């Protein structure tokens, strides 16, 4: 349409002023691009962190509160059934259980057991003796969350074997395998200790794992050669395998449960549910809000700063554009008067002005998107990378920090984090949503430039303009 070509010609006629307008528009768009991309990346990280850290439900005994209320005695008990019943919740995305059982085997000897299965344990009142447990059986509901087995972790399944899958499958450590001459495909026969009635576990070894973890939980265990707690003696199997023996109570075993919310915001609803199911009031139900905030605060702080920058540049840039178009309008009043006198409709004149503004905005949009997306990554890296590294380290630390509560001998909730792989870098990219937002802003800027011109010019009658001239 001739309006467009006319608009283009007009733009070229007054290069100086239009270059100024374009420059300001460009500055606004570039800073908007940078801010929005950084903001979106930060939000993603924050949301991701929130879901990973924030979704883990902590069910803890509030020891300080108990101390204050001077409660003594053992921790309130939670039964196996309770654990599983809490897991039946719409609010949870997943639940992870693991159970620890002490085993004895006369055929498979523990690493560090010089007596070869002949040790005995006395009951604390000395009234009875029993065979000492030699092997620690761990039943896990989800092998994927065993953090030791993550890439780069201290343990790894050695070639020729695999992770346990079906019923009665297990994996054992290399040390245990070598000591007893066990290879993949062999069976180990064990019986349970401390559990009534005694259960037999005949497990098929489907994998052998190399183990670089700290063998002993602490120097006291090492000094006393409490070989049961030597981690090389851990035999890992599935939760089903353990539960399939049909234990009625959790007498003699330790059960651990982790719950993950679909949405951390539902924590209070989940708490209400769990209390209704009978959770003892001494337990508190919470999510890692503090840790979450600690990690996300710097990120949102940064995002907040860049938004402030964008907002301010928008305001100032907007003012400059308004003033520029005000000046431009007055210069072109005569031209418009002539056009109108020639019979051009108001709407067409307005369209022409708007077209000029839009052309500038569109050109600046493309250039701005280019510059902005090129600049966004390095800028984001310089500001955010430090924060993300800190965030990654802290969450990694938290996931390794398995805070065990006071051992009540039976049941515990694990307070640490399992299964979290922290983000170690940010990818800043221009997605469709961001491009849409920026395009809107570019259009708004065009509208701003154009509207002033249109408003002033359409107000005047051509006669008046021409008369003023003469």
Partner 1 sequence: MKNKNFYVIENALLNLGKNKGRNFLQGVMIFAVITTTVIALSIHNTSVAIIGEYKTRFGSEVNIVPETLADNLPDITAEQALLYSQSEYLRDAQVDEVKIGSGAIKLVYYLKSPESLDAFRTEVQDKGLPAGYIVDIDKAGYDRMVMPMEGLKDISLTFLLIVLALGCAIMILLSIISVRERKYEIGVLRAMGMKKQKLAMGLWVEILIITSVCFILSLIAGGLLSQSISDALLAGLMNTATEPVDISVSPQTVLQIFGVAMLFASVAGIISVSKITKYEPIKILMERN
Tell me how far apart the alpha carbons of residues 304 and 66 are, in angstroms, rounded to a whole number.
41
Segment near partner 1 (CB under 8 A); pick from 57-65, 178-186, 266-274, 324-332: 324-332
> 7 vs 299, which CB is nearer to partner 1?
299
Per-residue x/- marks for partner 1, 347-386, CB under 8 A?
--------------------------------x-xxxxxx
Determine if 235 is a binding residue for partner 1 (CB under 8 A): no
Q: Write down the least CB distance from residue 390 to partner 1, Å.
A: 6
- Rounded CA separation 91/101 (Å): 30
Residue of 170, 257, 292, 302 interacting with partner 1 (CB under 8 A): 302
Q: How far is the CB of 83 from partner 1 (least distance, A)?
A: 36
List CB contacts of 56: < 8 A, sequence separation 6 or more.
Answer: 258, 259, 260, 261, 287, 288, 417
Residue 396 burial by CB count (10 A; 0-12/13-18/19+): exposed, middle or buried?
Answer: middle
Residue 187 vs 327, nearer CB to partner 1: 327
Per CB under 8 A, does 304 bind partner 1? yes
Place of tokens 């990654």: 392
**Tokens 């620890």 sit at which residue?**
100
* Piece in contact with partner 1 (CB under 8 A), picked from 181-189, 304-312, 340-348, 398-406: 304-312
Q: Which is nearer to partner 1, 277 or 330 (CB)?
A: 330
Residues 330-349 that bind partner 1 (CB under 8 A): 330
In angstroms, give the least distance from the CB of 210 to partner 1: 22
Strand pairing partners for 285? 59
Q: How far is the CB of 329 from partner 1 (least distance, A)?
A: 11
* Minimum CB distance to partner 1, residue 369 (Å): 18
Q: How far is the CB of 323 from partner 1 (least distance, A)?
A: 4
Q: Quote the CA–CA distance of 267 and 104 in Å, as a whole number.
A: 41
Least distance (Å) between residue 441 CB and partner 1: 16
Q: Which is nearer to partner 1, 225 or 307 (CB)?
A: 307
DSSP state of 269: H
The b/e string for 436-455 (b: 16+ C-beta within 10 A; e otherwise) is: eebeebbeebbebbbbbbbe
Q: Is 297 in the site for partner 1 (CB under 8 A)?
A: yes
312 binds partner 1 (CB under 8 A): yes
User: At how many degrees (to 10) do helices 346-400 and 289-331 cross?
Assistant: 160
247 vs 237: CA distance, rounded Å: 16
Q: Show contacts of 147-150: CB within 8 Å, 24+ apart.
A: 147/399, 147/400, 147/418, 147/419, 148/213, 149/209, 150/421
* Residues 1-30 interacting with partner 1 (rule: CB under 8 A): 24, 27
x/- map, 24-63, partner 1, by CB under 8 A? x--x---x--------------------------------
Cβ-proximal residues to 366 (8 Å cutoff; 6+ apart), any chain: none
Is there binding between residue 218 and partner 1 (CB under 8 A)?
Answer: no
Residue 159 DSSP one-character state:
T
Q: Which residues pair with 171 in a beta bridge?
A: 207, 236
Residues that bind partner 1 (CB under 8 A): 24, 27, 31, 294, 297-298, 300-302, 304-306, 308-309, 312-313, 315-317, 319-320, 323-324, 326-327, 330, 379, 381-387, 389-390
């Amino acid at each position: 349409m001739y309006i467009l070509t006319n608009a283009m010609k007009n733009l070229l006629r007054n290069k100086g002023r239009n270059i100024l307008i374009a420059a300001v528009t460009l500055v606004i768009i570039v800073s908007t691009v940078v801010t929005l991309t950084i903001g979106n990346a930060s939000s993603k990280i924050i949301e991701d962190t929130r879901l990973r850290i924030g979704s883990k439900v902590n069910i803890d005994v509030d020891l300080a509160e108990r101390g204050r209320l001077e409660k003594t005695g053992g921790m309130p008990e939670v039964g196996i059934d309770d654990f599983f019943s809490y897991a039946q919740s719409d609010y949870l995305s997943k639940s992870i259980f693991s159970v620890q059982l002490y085993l004895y085997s006369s055929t498979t000897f523990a690493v560090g057991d010089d007596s070869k299965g002949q040790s005995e344990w006395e009951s604390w009142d000395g009234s009875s003796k029993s065979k000492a447990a030699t092997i620690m059986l761990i039943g896990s509901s989800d092998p994927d969350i065993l953090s030791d087995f993550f890439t780069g972790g201290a343990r790894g399944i050695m070639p020729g074997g695999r992770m346990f899958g079906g019923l009665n499958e297990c994996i054992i450590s290399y040390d245990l395998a070598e000591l007893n001459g066990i290879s993949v495909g062999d069976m180990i026969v064990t019986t349970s200790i401390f559990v009534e009635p005694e259960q037999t576990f005949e497990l098929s070894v489907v994998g052998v794992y190399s183990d670089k973890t700290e063998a002993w939980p602490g120097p006291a265990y090492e000094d006393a050669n409490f070989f049961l707690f030597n981690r090389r003696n851990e035999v890992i199997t599935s939760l089903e395998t353990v539960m399939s023996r049909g234990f009625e109570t959790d007498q003699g075993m330790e059960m651990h449960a982790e719950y993950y919310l679909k949405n951390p915001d539902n924590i209070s609803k989940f708490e209400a549910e769990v209390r209704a199911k009978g959770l003892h009031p001494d337990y508190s139900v919470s999510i890692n809000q503090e840790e979450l905030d600690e990690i996300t605060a710097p990120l949102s702080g940064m995002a907040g700063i860049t938004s402030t920058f964008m907002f301010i540049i928008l305001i100032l840039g907007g003012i400059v554009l308004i003033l520029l178009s005000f000046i431009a309008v007055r210069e072109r009043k005569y031209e418009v008067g002539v056009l109108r006198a020639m019979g051009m409709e108001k709407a067409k004149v307005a369209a022409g002005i708007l077209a000029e503004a839009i052309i500038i905005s569109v050109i600046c949009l493309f250039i701005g998107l280019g510059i902005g997306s090129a600049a966004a990554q390095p800028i984001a890296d310089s500001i955010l990378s430090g924060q993300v590294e800190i965030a990654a380290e802290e969450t990694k630390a938290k996931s390794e920090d398995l805070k065990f509560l006071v051992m009540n001998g039976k049941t515990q909730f694990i307070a640490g984090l399992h299964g979290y792989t922290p983000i170690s870098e940010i990818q800043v990219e221009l997605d469709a949503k961001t491009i849409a937002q920026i395009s809107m802003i570019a259009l708004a800027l065009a509208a701003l430039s154009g509207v002033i011109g249109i408003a002033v010019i359409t107000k005047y009658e051509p006669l008046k303009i021409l008369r003023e001239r003469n």
